[in-house]
Chains A and B, each alone.
Chain A
Amino acid sequence: MFGDLRRFDTARTQGLDWFRQLMDEMLPEAGAADIRSVPRGSFPMINVGRTDDAVRVYVFAAGLSADDLEVSLQDNVLTVSGRRGPEAAREDASAPTEFRSERFRGEFSRSLALPDGLDIERAEARFRDGVCEVLLPKREELRPRRIAIQAA
Chain B
Amino acid sequence: MNDVIRQDAPQAPADRDRDREREVETLQPPVDIFEDGNALHLVADMPGVTRESLHIEVDNNVLSLEGEVRLEMPEGLTAIYAEVRAQRYARRFTLSHEIDAEAIQARIDNGVVELVLPRKETHRRRRIEVKAA
Contacts and interface: CB of A to CB of B under 8 A. Distances in A.
Contact of B50 (A5, A94, A129): A129
A145 interface: no
B11 to A, nearest CB: 13
Interface residues of A, number: 57
A98 B18 CA distance: 40
Contact of B25 (A12, A90, A92): A12
B94 interface: no
Contacts of A61: 47, 111
Given A5-B79, A129-B47, A131-B111, A51 B34 contact: no
Interface residues of B, number: 47
B77 A98 contact: no
A146 interface: no
Interface of B: 18, 22, 25-28, 30-37, 41, 43-50, 69-85, 87, 109-112, 114, 116
7 contacts: A3-B77, A4-B79, A47-B82, A60-B111, A93-B34, A97-B34, A129-B47
Give the top 8 A-B pairs by smallest Cβ distance, nearest first.
Answer: A130-B111, A62-B111, A130-B47, A93-B36, A102-B30, A62-B47, A62-B45, A60-B47
